[in-house]
Structure 1
Amino acid sequence: MRLVIVTGMSGAGKTTALKTLEDMGFYCADNLPIPLVDKFAELVRDSGSGISTAALGVDIRSGDELPELANTLDQWTKNGIPYSILFLDSNEDALVRRFKQTRRAHPLTPGGRVETGIREERKQLEFLKKRADYIIDTSALLTRDLRDELGRIFVKNEKFSSLFVTVLSFGFKYGIPRDADLVFDVRFLPNPYYVDALKHRTGNEKEVQDYVRQGGTCNEFLKRISDLLDFLIPYYVKEGKNQLVIAIGCTGGKHRSVTVANLLHEALKSHQEIGLRIEHRDADRDGKQG
């Protein structure tokens, strides 16, 4: 029997997570009154229920009853009842943006500021985050990225690390990404922009990649970055860091940065302990230097 408590911040992706787990064969229930949570666990444990995997959504909507969940979890631990907690988190900027996009009020401040509700919610959910077995920061994740990560944890049963790495290409002329943790400037590499046949193509194409990699400088640079990340990633995991955004920049974000980002993304796949995605922020901006 596998029971997963799905919780976290409003707007961080709990609904998507529950739907994804349901698609994976989990029996899912959402927003049960806290006094019924233990009854739900009993149902799941009942050998005659036919349920082997279940997920239960619990969040701030439980109101004043929510702190009572701590006693239930303590009792489960004491009695050896197996369960795990999946906590979906996100930074404040991302949460505010999502609330504004959906024109929803925060459940804790229906007539007030979203920011105030988010900060209060974070305080009230702190006891669950501290107990969490899996913390996924969805600030920079697309829906498909979250689904892939849940599949990796709950279907493939791969070793989980809370660290999700995004390799992001960008153009300096459009600004450095605000959420970047590490920024690498690749404007020293050969620039396909000045080759008519390559000017309007991107670093997703082999001909552009071959041009950028000529002379071996790109490959040497990639090796040095990979060695640095091989050193850093275990320490980020140990620290409990949830998100790492590695930004690779060139002038227009079309040729050199895209090439290097793609190569780095492939190199990082050897780190089975991390979640990984790639994004090309500016590759589709036409006519810009790469």
Structure 2
Amino acid sequence: MSQSQSPRSSSATKSRVVVITGLSGAGRRTAAHAMEDLGWYVVDNLPPSMVPSLVGFARQQALTKVCVVLDVRSPRLVEQLPQMFAALADAGIDHEVLFLEATDDVIVKRQESSRRPLPLQGDGRLLDAIASERSMLSAVRASAGLVIDTGRLTVHQLASRVAHAYGGDSSAMVRIAVMSFGFKNGLPIDADLVFDVRFLPNPHWVPELRPKTGLSQEVSSYVLSQPGAAEFLDQTEALLVTMAPGYVREGKRQCTVAIGCTGGKHRSTAISEALGARLTARGFRVNVTHRDLGLE
């Protein structure tokens, strides 16, 4: 546990509660450490039935930011989750779910590296345990406010995503994560919106631009000067500005926008940087990442 605020008596203090859950091996511990670094009061591996009592204690101690990390120990514990969320809602407590996941091959590789079995594995196969976890947590994933696929993220990139979503005070504006990617490497499964910029000419076919990336001024100028680039940015910016208030009204604090081209090196990178700059100028809190930059 960690706390960054001195306790003082105030049972009326309003607490914000984040529940971190998801697949074993998907990065819950890394996310929890990131929350601690942001000043959240973090409790790991607490039974769901005890979470409402924890939040009551936090209110008494004037702890306004509480994070609970829940994993899959047994089907019985997962069955307690709906009652836990209902109890928090009945108490008028703002709560949200951060769900972490990764593909089967990533989970297998990580578990083999750690040499630790999954909680549901027992004497069975690792893939069967992963499938059981996915099935048991499917309803929780569907209701999560933020889903992050950690398969291609380093621990530092995951910490950055967590910091972007939960750092600082709660804002009246939705936070926007803009991610470039390459279609040849697969769609990002944690994206809320996906846009395809392969309609723009590819700098890959310009010899002097091929070795550069969309982060360079030369490639950026080339991409943004193409017919349709400015119009795409205008309309995407307008769409997000239109949607943002609705996200806030529905309690969604984070929107992940994925911009894709063939390899994720030139067009999507340049467009993502430009869109991020526009949204920042609009007053949004924006985090721009490039999933496939550097991959061949």
- TM-score by length of structure 1 reads 0.69
Aligned residue among 137, 146, 169 for 2:148: 137
Partner residue in 1 for 2:233? 226
The CA distance in 1 between the partners of 2:134 and 2:73, in whole Å, is 13
SS at match of 1:97: helix
Q: Contact (CA 8 Å) 1:165, 1:246: kept in 2 or not?
A: yes
User: Structure 1 residues 158, 77: closer, same or farther in 2, change over 3 A?
Assistant: closer
The CA distance in 2 between the partners of 1:128 and 1:280, in whole Å, is 26
The CA distance in 2 between the partners of 1:90 and 1:160, in whole Å, is 26
Q: Contact (CA 8 Å) 2:23, 2:133: kept in 1 or not?
A: yes
Partner residue in 1 for 2:216? 205
Partner residue in 2 for 1:288? none
Partner residue in 2 for 1:121? 133
Partner residue in 2 for 1:247? 260
Q: Contact (CA 8 Å) 1:6, 1:86: kept in 2 or not?
A: yes
Report the more deviating stretch, 56-65 or 178-187.
178-187
Partner residue in 2 for 1:150? 162
Residue 67 of structure 1: how far off its partner (Å) = 1.6
User: Structure 1 residues 28, 261: closer, same or farther in 2, change over 3 A?
Assistant: closer
Residue 16 of structure 1: how far off its partner (Å) = 1.9
User: Structure 1 residues 110, 205: closer, same or farther in 2, change over 3 A?
Assistant: same
Q: Alpha-carbon deviations, 1:162-213, whole Å to 9, x = none?
A: 9743123x5xxxx723116443336736778544xx6755443334545x26
Residue 113 of structure 1: how far off its partner (Å) = 4.1
1:98 alignment partner AA: I
Q: Percent identity?
A: 20
**Alignment gaps of 5+ in structure 1:** 286-290
User: Structure 1 residues 186, 26: closer, same or farther in 2, change over 3 A?
Assistant: same
Partner residue in 1 for 2:83? 71
SS at match of 1:277: strand
1:185 alignment partner AA: R
Q: Alpha-carbon deviations, 1:59-106, whole Å to 9, x = none?
A: 21255233234334433433x252413231335x2x531331341543
The CA distance in 1 between the partners of 2:85 and 2:204, in whole Å, is 58
Q: Contact (CA 8 Å) 2:99, 2:148: kept in 1 or not?
A: yes
Count of aligned pairs between the two proteins = 266
- Rg larger for: 1
Residue 264 of structure 1: how far off its partner (Å) = 4.2
The CA distance in 2 between the partners of 1:42 and 1:280, in whole Å, is 40
2:129 alignment partner AA: G
The CA distance in 1 between the partners of 2:295 and 2:86, in whole Å, is 52
User: Structure 1 residues 208, 39: closer, same or farther in 2, change over 3 A?
Assistant: closer
**Alignment gaps of 5+ in structure 2:** 1-12, 189-193
Q: Contact (CA 8 Å) 1:248, 1:261: kept in 2 or not?
A: no
Partner residue in 1 for 2:277? 266
User: Structure 1 residues 254, 97: closer, same or farther in 2, change over 3 A?
Assistant: closer
Residue 222 of structure 1: how far off its partner (Å) = 1.9
2:231 alignment partner AA: R
CA-based RMSD: 4.1
Q: Contact (CA 8 Å) 1:193, 1:255: kept in 2 or not?
A: no
Partner residue in 2 for 1:101? 110
Residue 268 of structure 1: how far off its partner (Å) = 4.8
